[in-house]
Structure 1
């Protein structure tokens, strides 16, 4: 079984795998959502990852152009990219069979914290995409009630202050265990369509959050990031809190505006995300 949309990218797939023709390829579905479909295609010992992204997922090609390639970020090598009427098709190097979700070890989470410090060390020539104006726009688009909206609007000064204290860097935007892949030696970050630029640490927030969910402690992960980056612990604390606000707000607006149609089960995430957002806003108040 192979993806029905393979024809436009068949040539680079065959070149990368050295398969004599498409009929010789073996296909394995890795993800099949409304806006994202991911396959591993292989011939013998050679394999590639092919992706079809629509809606918000179409921006992965531009993320490679803006950030991944020029900054040499730890991401799969882009072999080919093409665009159809409503989707982007990517052929990527296969960087490993195991992700951190499948094997959620403490060592893996610590390695991911160090990897994030590497990403955040790269200066980027782009303006922040999470300023106080962006905060207010997301608040208006979110399903927050009047009390939570007021608390979030009071964070404008905190967001402005963060921009004065530290430069904006690349944010992956979905730094969760399923997007951290290893070949047994090296860790790589996959799935970059949500990447943007900001001074906060939403990526460290989601990494620590998911570590706690599987029974690990968050403190060693944050400490590893601080050690690897040489950052000020107090600054990191505020970057984490505002990163949590950014993550939950972006997730909520995505669910309301797109996710409820493309991933219907995402509607169930709204209530817990609002509770999480409320707790973060209170902590920052």
Structure 2
């Protein structure tokens, strides 16, 4: 048996498993919807995108097993869905990383100025952008790709290939840059928390007399809750003491890295090889 039918058979066999897994994760998110934060909306969106991508991959693998040459309508629909879901996921991941960076940069202001409805509207706008880019991918297919349903960029228009390469590269670079800034912010907050613990653990000895110190201290309240010591859920002091566990940054970082490694880097590499081959052919000509 040839290699490519075996690969498409493996994809068609593993896609239902991914679909069931995504449905289970979406059910878990729905169960704890009362405890959602802004980042949970982005994570749920990524889960739904993986579900849609698995459905389209299953359909594409079935079409490839049937034969490379097929009707243009189902092939164009599958290619549109894959391009739209991939773009939608990249923009959502960049937005999730940016959301965490803004949360750790302005904990109180960003927490109470951005609502869930605004995040839902933002995700809907990203979905519309992904759909439009998917439509562009359907129109960017060359005459040769109309006869053969293929994801290879060599059969697509070179201008669309360059556009997708620049767009995906900018989104991934911005996500990496914001991730580095997030790690720097977390390091600074951890450093401040350690310094604060050292200051509170060091005893202070006064040089004044006992009577004056007792009389002066007895006339003052023991503790006054001010603006700096308020019990806000996203107060910098509370988050420093909690070890920055309120941000769910580990989940966002792991999801972003896995999505880049599995869904986007292989596809981006294939586009890059397409551009390099086109440029070398143009130079030789």
User: TM-score scaled by structure 1?
Assistant: 0.22
Structure-2-length-normalised TM-score? 0.22
* Larger proportion of strand: 1
Higher relative helix content:
2
The structure with higher relative contact order (CA 8 Å, sep 6+) is: 2
